[in-house]
Structure 1
Amino acid sequence: MTDLLIVNANVVSDGEIRQLDVAIEDGRISQLGKDLSALTSKRVVDAAGLTLMPGMIDDQVHFREPGLTHKGEIATESRAAVAGGITSYMEMPNVNPLTIDEAALEDKYQRAAQKSLANFSFYLGASNDNLEVIKRLDPKAACGVKVFMGASTGNMLVDDPIILENIFASSPILIATHCEDTPTITANENRYRGMYGDNVPMSFHPLIRSEEACYMSSSMAIALARKHDSRLHVLHLTTEKELAQFAAGDHRDKRITAEACVHHLFFSDQDYDSKGALIKCNPAVKQESDRLAILKAIQEDRIDIIATDHAPHTWEEKQNSYFKAPSGLPLVQDALLSLLEHYHRGVLSLEQIVKKTSHAVADCFDIVDRGYVREGYWADLVLVDLNKPTRRQHADALSKCGWTPFDGYEFRSAIHTTLVNGEMMFENGVIVSENKGQRLLFNR
């Protein structure tokens, strides 16, 4: 007796698409086959016409808990994630208090175990003062060490060169970097403030958070990683110039990997006039030529992972002028749908999307038994209807902030069903279970 049998699905995994049946028992995929209809099951789902993929593993989210819960919470943001086909996430340390020691890290795990509908892990944040904490970190206790090599939301800028050098020399696990050069950004801010006062147009954000600021910082991170043979993962690349620093090839053979985010693949500087602060983020959405270059780098395997950098702020906060409007977008609910638009446009294949959102994340972070549709793996799965449009509006947003940068857009696909650890969590537009996700485990 199996718990669930999915039949007639077009399964995307391991670089191919096959019509298969999937049997699920005790939260895991127990069998894959051409015809498993003879199996006895508690429930059978006929997935004819639907596409079955491993759930997206999002390696970069900001769920705002603890301390910033007027913007988002683990409970609300994980619901939005599951509704968007994201079954696991890795959450960032710039909350209040900062996640820069073992106690703060453990507190977040305890919160997630009680509240999160998706599987979870957390980054330990780096600061100028916690080098010894990083050195003694259990490699299985965090998904990675997050280093802000440029100011962003929160006060975690690591600007002591000796500390930075030592982090790259001694971190026991993957280092994930936000790369923007703060002095360059500050000089640009002063320049445009002198021209416009506080009324700097939102469209100047990519000029302030400039290509130069990004390249100076990412090139420094790469130089440090090469010097110390560090395991480096550079987050949310936004410029064509930076992409030349990354090699094409199998992500499993790389010590330095790269990530792109869904909004930088979807929006460009042409959208600031209509979206304004709703697409203000760090690093900035840049030129159309940069957007196209990032998509090309994904095709060429120079970019290894696609994530969200989900970072909700309230609607009221986003209505402020340039210097007062915070940077960040709520994205988890619509990330996979936005990526599937590139499939419909003929830019990315389904196999490429699955590789960058699931396979490569599991491989690069050494996640145990997730990220693939394979026998024995956890049944973290999403069923997608590629032929059913989804028109997105602010009112549909499950994120606590209650808005979406995709308001008014009609996606050409729909999230039909999301399963987390074999449990059907989202079905036909509704959260159908409050079952809690699991802590991600690592082969380290």
Structure 2
Amino acid sequence: MTDYLIANARLVNEGQRSEADVLIRDGRIEKIARHIAAPSDVEVIDAQGHYLLPGMIDDQVHFREPGLTDKADLASESAAAVAGGITSFMDMPNVKPPTVDHDAMVAKHALAKGRCTANYGFHFGATNDNIEEIKKLDTRLSAGVKIFMGASTGRMLVDDDTALEQIFEHSPLTILTHCEDTPMIEANAQRARDLYGDDVPMSEHPIIRSREACYASSSKAIDLARRHGARLHILHITTADELDLFEAGVMGPKQITAEACAHHLFFEDSDYAARGTLIKCNPAIKTHADRMALLKAVADDRIDVLATDHAPHQLSEKDQPYFAAPAGLPLVQHAMPSLLDHVSAGHFSLEQLVTKSAHNVADRFDIAERGYIREGYWADLVIADISGQTVVDHEPILAKCGWSPFAGYTFQSRIMSTFVSGQLAYHEGKLSQGCIGRALTYDRDYAR
């Protein structure tokens, strides 16, 4: 393994900015100081004028493996992730077969070993009938327990109230919920069919997958968590209404936390006219007012975590009528540049971006020795040029699906370098060969 000295960096970490050098040896941060004389056996990377940040830990991705590898796989999407400043990811369980028992989780780890450019973790999936698997969950292998309280099919939709009560009572890990009320959505979809037949316009998407459906489900999840004392993390909040359900302030003492995703902070319903099904996702992108409320909630610490919900599909799948086109966007390669644009626009600070994309994620999921720039921690780092540019159309799309919802955009920042467990994974526009991410490990001293 090559060792590195990152020199002359503008370090942003734990709410502070400083000028610093960082020495990396054997994959870990050995020393942080104002000036470090370069040892003869290390490679020096001059970060002059650029910011050094903890790498983003994406707590919600769909890398589609096993079983859906025509859309994506762990190797292709993790490579796209490091190009976007993401050093670790946590993959969702709705694959084939779904990750809803111990053997499936072990098999998924085996698939990832040696093939991921980024560090990796996996969420365990809840179903209506796998409570015994959840009770005996190996907490060394799982990041959290995911419940689809809407927007899924088959075994992955948990719509039985007794099952939900048991999951919230017995889950040994943080519960992550996709919150939409399925009966409400189905009723709205039928109304749209009655009105438009098979030619439903994309503008109906946030009406079908309505704000009321989101609020009803989020409220239900919060009630369950409070009654059972469960740690709850609600994914991809999309409405101003839901924000009133969450407390403002630092994440530390919170039992219930909220997440916002890059595309919900970037797009709004007026974009459906030009982007169509390319920005169809669940829950739906909603209004300008909702988007601005989400950005404000990041600034006032009502939103605790920033993520992607990267969920790629082939263009041929997207190029279908409304009901046939699947929901989901490829996002990891440009998530960090899009978030940095919000910093440049003054919506929230660079320190808050770091807290919500790295520190809080590590803390919420008990990730050991990552998420901070600290001596002794793994060197998961990003050098970002916030005065550079990323012209989306001028770059190869590394996601297997080969397209980006950000086509046509120019971001006012650029990822210069990404280090994964001390390895230079991406540098000056090129992926490095041979970078191998590691399985996330967890430091858990709580029990329920």
| TM-score, normalization by structure 1 | 0.98
The within-5 A match list for 1:87-166 is 87-152=87-152, 155-166=155-166
Residue equivalent to 1:31: 31
Contact kept in structure 2, 1:5 and 1:41, CA below 8 Å: no
Residue matched to 2:308: 308
Partner of 1:361: 361
Residue aligning to 2:323:
323
- Give the Cα–Cα distance (whole angstroms) in 1 for the partners of residues 235 and 397 of structure 2: 25
4+ residue segments displaced more than 6 Å: none
Structure 1 pair 371–263 and aligned structure 2 pair: CA distance change class (3 A): same
| 1:127–1:2 Cα change, 3 Å | closer
Question: Which whole-Å CA distance do the structure 2 matches of 1:171 and 1:2 have between them?
Answer: 41
The answer to whether residue 173 in structure 2 is matched with residue 173 in structure 1 is yes
CA offsets, 1:326-383, max 9 Å, x none?
Answer: 0000000000000001011111211011001000000111110000111111000011
Letter in 2 for 1:226: R
Equivalent-residue separation in structure 1 for 2:40 and 2:375 (angstroms): 18
Q: Which residue of 1 aligns with 2:407?
A: 407
2:156 partner SS: coil
Asked whether the equivalents of residues 299 and 349 of structure 2 are also in contact (C-alpha less than 8 Å), the reply is: no
State how 1:328-339 maps to structure 2 within 5 Å: 328-339=328-339
Query: How far apart, CA to CA, are the structure 1 residues paired with 2:339 and 2:417?
Result: 17
Comparing 175-184 with 38-47, greater Cα deviation is found at 38-47
Query: What are the residue-to-residue correspondences of 1:213-252 with 2, within 5 Å?
Result: 213-252=213-252
- Per-residue CA deviations over 1:233-252 (Å, capped at 9, x if unaligned) read 00000000000000012211
- Residue by residue, what CA displacement relative to the aligned partner does 1:158-187 show, whole Å, maximum 9, x if unpaired? 011101100000001110000000000000
Offset, 1:121: 0.5
Q: Which amino acid letter does the alignment assign opposite residue 51 of structure 1?
A: Y
Match of 2:275 in 1: 275
SS at 1:402 equivalent: coil
C-alpha contact (below 8 Å) 2:6/2:23 kept by paired residues? yes
Q: For residue 41 of structure 1, report the CA deviation from its aligned partner.
A: 3.8
Q: Is the 8 A contact 1:66 1:95 kept in 2?
A: yes
* Cα contact 1:153–1:327 (8 A) shared by 2: no
What SS is found at the alignment partner of 1:206?
Answer: helix
Partner of 1:84: 84
2:293 corresponds in structure 1 to 293
Structure 1 residue 215: Cα displacement: 0.5
Distance in 1 (CA, whole Å) between partners of 2:346 and 2:298 is: 14
Partner letter of residue 180 of structure 1?
E
Mapped partners of 1:46, 1:394: distance in 2: 25
Which deviations, in whole Å up to 9, do the C-alpha atoms of 1:6-48 show, x marking residues without a partner?
1100011010111100000010000000010254442111110
Q: Give the CA deviation at 1:2.
A: 8.5
| 2:211 aligned partner | 211
Distance 2:225 2:346 in 1: 35
Amino acid at match of 1:250: V
CA contact (8 A) 2:119 2:437 kept: yes
**Which stretch of structure 1 is more off in the superposition, 144-153 or 322-331?**
144-153
Q: CA RMSD in A?
A: 1.3
Determine the C-alpha separation between the residues in 2 that align with 1:347 and 1:395.
27
Aligned length: 444
Structure 1: gaps (5+ residues):
none
Comparing 41-50 and 353-362, the one that deviates more = 41-50
Tell me the residue number matched to 1:440: 440
Residue pair 2:174, 2:365 contacting (<8 A) in 1 also: yes
- Is the Cα contact below 8 Å between 1:94 and 1:154 reproduced in 2? no
Residue identity matched to 2:294: I
Change (3 A) 1:70 1:153: farther
Distance 1:408 1:254 in 2: 39
Tell me how far apart the structure 2 counterparts of residues 119 and 141 of structure 1 sit (CA, whole Å).
13
**Per-residue displacement from partner, 1:64-87 (whole Å, max 9, x unpaired)?**
001100000000000000111100
Cα distance between partner residues in 2 of 1:45 and 1:333: 22
Deviation at 1:155, TM superposition (A): 4.4
Distance 1:136 1:119 in 2: 25
**Would the alpha carbon gap of residues 44 and 84 (structure 1) be closer, same or farther in structure 2, given more than 3 Å must change?**
same
| CA–CA distance in structure 1, aligned partners of residues 247 and 408 of structure 2 | 37
Q: Give distance in 2, aligned partners of 1:409 and 1:22.
A: 33
Where does residue 266 of structure 1 map in the other structure? 266
Q: Work out whether residues 5 and 38 of structure 2, in 8 Å CA contact, stay in contact via their aligned partners in 1.
A: no
Contact 1:394 / 1:407 at 8 angstroms: preserved in 2? no
Question: Is contact 1:259-1:306 (8 Å) kept?
Answer: yes
Hey, what does 1:185 align to over in structure 2?
185
Displacement of 1:435 in angstroms is 2.1
1:153 Cα deviation from its structure 2 partner: 6.4
Check if 1:50 corresponds to 2:39: no
Q: Deviations for 1:271-290, whole angstroms, at most 9, x for unmatched residues?
A: 00011001100000000100
CA contact (8 A) 2:78 2:116 kept: yes
Q: CA deviation at 1:154?
A: 6.3
CA distance in 1 between counterparts of 2:335 and 2:359 reads: 17
CA distance in 1, matches of 2:206, 2:8: 46
Instruction: Tell me how far apart the structure 2 counterparts of residues 358 and 240 of structure 1 sit (CA, whole Å).
Output: 24
Can you give the 5+ residue segments of structure 2 that lack an aligned partner in the other structure?
none
**2:91–2:121 Cα contact (<8 Å) kept:** yes
In the TM superposition, residue 223 of structure 1 has moved relative to its aligned partner by 0.1
Matches within 5 A, 1:393-404: 393=393, 396-404=396-404
TM-score w.r.t. structure 2 length?
Answer: 0.97
Structure 2 CA distance for partners of 1:153 and 1:396, relative to 1, 3 Å: farther
